[in-house]
Amino acid sequence: MRPPHPRRRRVAAAALLGLWLAVATGAAAQGMFRHDDPLQRDADDIPIPKPAEIELSTSHDVVYHSLADRGRGEGVRAMNVNTLGEVPDSSWFTNRIGVRELSLEELARGPDTVEGPDTSGPWSVVAGKSQGITPGFTIVDARGDTYFIKFDSVGYPHLATAADVIGTKLFHAIGYNVPENYIAHLTRARLQVHPDARLTRGRSERSMRDADVDAILALAPREPDGSYRVVASRAVPGEPVGHRLFYGTRGDDANDVFPHEHRRELRGLRVFCAWLNHDDSRALNSLDVFVPDGERGHLRHYLIDFSSILGAGSDARRQIAPQSRRAGHEYIIEWAPIFKTLFSFGLWERPWRHVEYTEHPEIGRLEADYFEPQRWKPEYPNPAFRRMQMEDAFWATRIVARFDDERIRAAVAAGDYADPGAGRLLAGLVRARRDKVLAYYLRQLSPLDEPAVRGEGAERRLEFAHLGERHGLGGVSGYDFEWARFDNARGVRSPLGEPGFSPGPSLPVPADGADFLVVRIRGRSDEPAWRLPVDVFLRQRGRETSVVGIERAASDRSLD
């Protein structure tokens, strides 16, 4: 959104203060935990009229975000989280691998609901684009489904198509909405130009001819059998209404009440993008779709186009090619290195220029030795990424941790590489980058996770896992803990018994009739951050005791 006029800012600030007082007072009266905490689903699908389309300029987006931070609010914690620090299911995100075992079959299937375009009949070409970064066309298959057809670049067979499909599987497993992307093989004979097909060429549009299809195919690499390998991206259900921004909210979407820079799944996306080197994670690679329900409906938010992730990127000609050496290390416009180079007469060199890569034509350019997840950068500043705090990063990291070697191999296998060595190489790099993500972020706070009350009555125990230990990052010799009653309405705790120590991740739950209990847990470890406290809140309703909240202290909440 456009920054408001200064006078409007002042009025807004005054109104904000009033609202803050009103809401804060109201919230206090409701208590820290509500009866439905921890919220598992954010019902952001109340019926709304169809919002206007948001069209973004690629070049403006780069400049706009490079020159200033467009988000609002510094040091603000993510707002769309439940009391366990999780992101409830919503039109933005659906918890998948983070909350349950995701079978290899589920992961490999991803969002797919069919087996790809129907090959039992011809594909009707209904639209084409002969220029631009990704020349391609739109087809309707024999089933009547619409697909967008994208090609690899000459010289880099399988690079873009494999990256696109692997990215689809991984981001879907993580929990984002993604389109169904299929690797398919087509022959010229299968394509028939629809009489009403239109070809877009720059600013002009005209009827599409057979020769236009030939011209587009002439730019694509062919398989040894003469076919063309493509990604067929199935049109998502609903009516596209453009992109979503990484800041602010849609003013014409009543469901969109959390500023995007304060949404945990958008902040935490930084961790996933770093892991998978998705430096092209810009607003333009998102899609909002209006899902109608009668005359009204709601939006569903997608991430699209993963053809420039992992080792694939776009070259200076803006064609898919091995990833730029700059990718992930420096913004397109970043002043400090510019001035360093400028005033050193070019003698200062960017360190990433000397990074060695094991390049492969199907994989592109990816490495895991120089990679530092906390320093990773997208192509240009992102207001949500910039506001990622350690607790956002932890949320994302615990999801990354759920991708074991087997699941990574399964996702990479979806890339259908011609060279088996390519798949092995990529899987190894993705594993190594995952390990670096875990090694950094799990050392920034106490990574206690999966708290659960087990047993009944006096035998009840609070059990949990230590993700740092689980992933071999260090040892914990035991846990100091202090129980307290927790007055939910007042936010006050009263000590309950003496502090205790447990050699393992299992603590006795005191027998007490309070509605809420809280235990502060500190690990004994050489890792400084693992000694930071974690508070786990329990709610007791009759005979049922459940974990209702968790709070972790971090060494430094903000990364930037």
Tell me which residues in 487-546 interact with other proteins (CB under 8 A).
487-494, 515-516, 518, 533, 535, 537
Q: Interacting stretch for other proteins, rule CB under 8 A, among 339-347, 363-371, 412-420, 467-475?
A: 339-347
Nearer to other proteins, 42 or 469 (CB): 42
Q: C-beta of 549: minimal distance to other proteins in Å?
A: 5
If one asks whether residue 7 binds other proteins (CB under 8 A), the answer comes out as no
522 contacts 531 by C-beta, under 8 angstroms: yes
Write the DSSP symbol of residue 445.
B
If one asks whether residue 248 binds other proteins (CB under 8 A), the answer comes out as yes
CA triple 304-308-310, angle to 5 deg? 110
Residues 6+ apart with CB under 8 A from 256: 44, 249, 250, 299
Q: Interacting stretch for other proteins, rule CB under 8 A, among 135-143, 220-228, 242-250, 435-443?
A: 242-250
Nearer to other proteins, 61 or 180 (CB): 61
If one asks whether residue 217 binds other proteins (CB under 8 A), the answer comes out as no
Tokens of 255: 């469901």
**Burial of 448 by CB count in 10 Å (0-12 exposed, 13-18 middle, 19+ buried)?**
buried
Alpha-carbon radius of gyration of the chain: 26
Nearer to other proteins, 28 or 104 (CB): 28
Nearer to other proteins, 182 or 247 (CB): 247
If one asks whether residue 444 binds other proteins (CB under 8 A), the answer comes out as no
Alpha-carbon dihedral angle through residues 12, 13, 17, 18, given to the nearest 10 degrees? -30
If one asks whether residue 145 binds other proteins (CB under 8 A), the answer comes out as no
If one asks whether residue 9 binds other proteins (CB under 8 A), the answer comes out as no
On the question of a cis peptide bond just before residue 38, with omega within 30 degrees of 0, the verdict is yes
CA triple 527-263-334, angle to 5 deg? 75
Number of residues that bind other proteins (CB under 8 A): 96
Q: Looking at 5, 23, 100, 499, which residue binds other proteins (CB under 8 A)? A: 23
Q: Looking at 341, 374, 502, 558, which residue binds other proteins (CB under 8 A)? A: 341
Q: C-beta of 184: minimal distance to other proteins in Å?
A: 26
If one asks whether residue 279 binds other proteins (CB under 8 A), the answer comes out as no
Tell me which residues in 462-491 interact with other proteins (CB under 8 A).
487-491
Residues 6+ apart with CB under 8 A from 133: 314, 318, 319, 320
If one asks whether residue 549 binds other proteins (CB under 8 A), the answer comes out as yes
Q: C-beta of 143: minimal distance to other proteins in Å?
A: 32
Residue 423's H or E segment, with its range, is helix 420-441
Contact letters for other proteins, residues 79-118 (x by CB under 8 A): x-xxx-----------------------------------
Q: What string of H, E and C letters represents the secondary structure of 74-106?
A: CCCCCCCCCCCCCCCECCCECCCCCCCCCCHHH
Q: Looking at 293, 339, 501, 506, which residue binds other proteins (CB under 8 A)? A: 339
Which spans in 122-218 are helix H?
159-174, 210-218
Q: Interacting stretch for other proteins, rule CB under 8 A, among 178-186, 227-235, 245-253, 457-465?
A: 245-253
Paired with 540 in beta bridges are 545
Tokens of 437: 């993500």
If one asks whether residue 240 binds other proteins (CB under 8 A), the answer comes out as no
Q: What string of H, E and C letters represents the secondary structure of 233-301?
A: EECCCCEECECCCCCCCCCCCCCCCCCHHHCHHHHCHHHHHHHHCCCCCCHHHEEEEEEEECCEEEEEE
Q: C-beta of 370: minimal distance to other proteins in Å?
A: 17
CA of residue 291 relative to chain centroid, distance: 22
In angstroms, the CA 296 to CA 304 distance is 24
Nearer to other proteins, 7 or 203 (CB): 203
What values do phi and psi take at 420, rounded to 5? -55, -30
If one asks whether residue 212 binds other proteins (CB under 8 A), the answer comes out as no
If one asks whether residue 43 binds other proteins (CB under 8 A), the answer comes out as yes
Q: Interacting stretch for other proteins, rule CB under 8 A, among 38-46, 101-109, 453-461, 499-507?
A: 38-46
Q: Looking at 7, 46, 120, 498, which residue binds other proteins (CB under 8 A)? A: 46
Q: C-beta of 267: minimal distance to other proteins in Å?
A: 14
Tokens of 53: 């389309």
If one asks whether residue 120 binds other proteins (CB under 8 A), the answer comes out as no
Nearer to other proteins, 436 or 493 (CB): 493
Q: C-beta of 531: minimal distance to other proteins in Å?
A: 14
If one asks whether residue 133 binds other proteins (CB under 8 A), the answer comes out as no
Q: Looking at 6, 346, 457, 542, which residue binds other proteins (CB under 8 A)? A: 346
Tell me which residues in 190-209 interact with other proteins (CB under 8 A).
202-203
In angstroms, the CA 417 to CA 421 distance is 9
328's torsion region: left (phi>0), alpha (psi -120 to 50) or beta?
left
Tokens of 15: 């109104």
Tell me which residues in 59-78 interact with other proteins (CB under 8 A).
59-60, 63-64, 72-73, 76-77
If one asks whether residue 349 binds other proteins (CB under 8 A), the answer comes out as yes
406 contacts 176 by C-beta, under 8 angstroms: no
> What separation in angstroms does the CA of 476 have from each of 93, 525, 550?
33, 5, 20
Of 176, 186, 204, 202, nearest in space to 150 by CA:
186
Q: Interacting stretch for other proteins, rule CB under 8 A, among 136-144, 340-348, 427-435, 497-505?
A: 340-348
Q: C-beta of 218: minimal distance to other proteins in Å?
A: 9
Nearer to other proteins, 251 or 472 (CB): 251
Q: C-beta of 406: minimal distance to other proteins in Å?
A: 36
